[in-house]
Amino acid sequence: MHKFRKMEFSAEKIASFLNGYVEGDKDITVNNISKIEEGVPGTLSFLANPKYTEYIYSTNSSIVLVSKTFNAENKINATLIRVDDPYKAFASLLELYSLSKNQKSGISPKAVIEESAKTGENVYLGANVYIGENTIIKDNVKIYPNTYIGDNVEIDENTTIFSGVNIYSESIIGKNCTIHSGTVIGGDGFGFAPQSKSEFVKIPQIGNVIIEDNVEIGANTCIDRATMGSTIIKKGVKLDNLIQVGHNVIIGENTVIAAQTGVSGSTKIGKNCMIGGQVGFAGHLTICDNVKIGAQAGIIKDITTEGAVLIGSPVQDMRQFFKNTVLISKLPEMRKQINDVENSLNSFLKNK
């Protein structure tokens, strides 16, 4: 359970926010949320999965979100709020709570802002935040303590940057983005030229990183600046924790990538892709739109079939992967059969 910061909401107010209607006591209030099977008085729950239907008749939750099409078979003690989609409605309440929780504003006296930097209205800068030269922080941006923002950076409206983030110079961050703690944006790309005697000379990385609107970046993710030009994370992209994005990579609109994935330099990933955890991309690849890639896949060549569903290392069509897995599991038996045939043949030839 989690309290709504000691705030109470009536069934009537919740129903109004969710465009639903109340069935029961419209004045009953809640200040907590809970699972329907663990509900206690003063909490709100939801019923979206039919396998939890039995709990609606025994839950002690005060309010339960249900579908407008839900038909009760027994008496329900809780007040019901009927909505089109209980799961989405519950998610909307959580979003509202999250927004209310993060309504910080004001600039800490311990923040350091260079004279040439500009900040908009209703900006929050926590203690030990550094804002570099010629950097622009627009309206309603929130930057939590111990964060470094380099020179010539631009951060657009309503973006939230949590503590311990490092954003290097020339980076551009769009509107309504969320960047979680420990993330590094705009560090040097991994560019080294081999020389004689197995030595390497660093190639200067003079590009930048562009993050478009409505992007969320998980904790401890690294996005490298381009060697030249820009590394680009397009609008609506969601990146999980612990992801490495190399120099000059482009990730298309609304693509989601799970934790511990690594994308090597100059690879271009299309829009609306879904990529599982620990996927590895070789460099200079092109991945087309609407591709789904399973966890731990190894991508070593372009993917040109839109809507492909792939898995394995090296990657292959998911159906073929499962067929191959079945065949591999039968290899010991097949080996035994081959050995038996070989022994029988040798015995036959010996006795002939």
The catalytic residue positions are: 247
d(CA 212, CA 198): 39
d(CA 161, CA 143): 5
d(CA 273, CA 306): 10
In single-letter form, the type of residue at position 344 comes to S
d(CA 86, CA 52): 13
Tokens of 262: 């690594």
Q: Radius of gyration of the chain from Cα atoms?
A: 27
Query: Which strand (E) or helix (H) includes residue 335?
Result: helix 331-351
Q: Whose CA is closest to 293, among 273, 323, 265? A: 273
The alpha carbon dihedral of 339, 343, 349, 350 has a sign of positive
Cα angle at 171 between 166 and 177, to 5 degrees? Answer: 75
Query: Which strand (E) or helix (H) includes residue 135?
Result: none
Our measurement of the distance from residue 187's CA atom to the centroid of its chain's CA atoms, rounded to an integer in Å, reads 21
Q: Whose CA is closest to 200, among 210, 192, 208? A: 192
Tokens of 78: 């809780």
Query: Which strand (E) or helix (H) includes residue 22?
Result: strand 21-23
Strands 250-251 and 268-269: parallel
Our measurement of the distance from residue 73's CA atom to the centroid of its chain's CA atoms, rounded to an integer in Å, reads 39
Token pair 């503590």 is found at: 163
Residue 243 DSSP SS3? coil
